[in-house]
Amino acid sequence: MTNIFDLPSSLPNKELFESLVSADNILIERIISTGQVTPPGDWYDQDKDEWVILLQGEAILAYADGSQTKLIVGDYLFIPAHQKHRVEYTSSQPPCIWLAVHSNMSKI
């Protein structure tokens, strides 16, 4: 058994992506962020829907339409496929722990 809140003793200077479950139409991953943000001018434009919950820390996501969403512990959201978004802020103390589900949600 593994605990979602157990962190490596030494965190790298980049986001850590850990696949927890992977199958044909689904990926469940833990993401650990320690202050990382999306590089200026870059946008995520994913082929699959994403449902994400912030389990620890604070974060801000921005969207191509100019809106932003601030996330605190327990906040979750659904990002449809091809909705351009970027990470504007992640806390480092404490590190952000995300649980993300990537899938074609209408096909589950």
Q: Is the pLDDT of residue 108 over 60?
A: no
Q: Which domains does the chain have, with CATH numbers?
A: 16-107 (2.60.120.10)
pTM: 0.91
Which of the four pLDDT bands, split at 50, 70 and 90, describes residue 10? Answer: confident
Tokens representing residue 10 in the block:
């030494």
18 has pLDDT over 90: yes
Q: Mean pLDDT of all residues in the chain?
A: 93
How many Cβ atoms are within 10 Å of 62's Cβ, its own excluded? 18
Q: What is the pLDDT of residues 43-89, one digit of tens each?
A: 999 999 999 999 999 999 999 999 999 999 999 999 999 999 999 99
Q: How confident is the model at residue 3 (pLDDT cuts 50, 70, 90)?
A: very high
Average pLDDT over residues 25-40: 95
- What is the band of 8 on the pLDDT scale with cuts at 50, 70, 90? confident
The phi and psi torsions of 38 (rounded to 5 degrees) equal -70, 135
How far is residue 98's CA from residue 58's CA, in Å, rounded to a whole number? 10
- Nearest C-alpha neighbor of 37 from the set 84, 91, 81, 94: 91
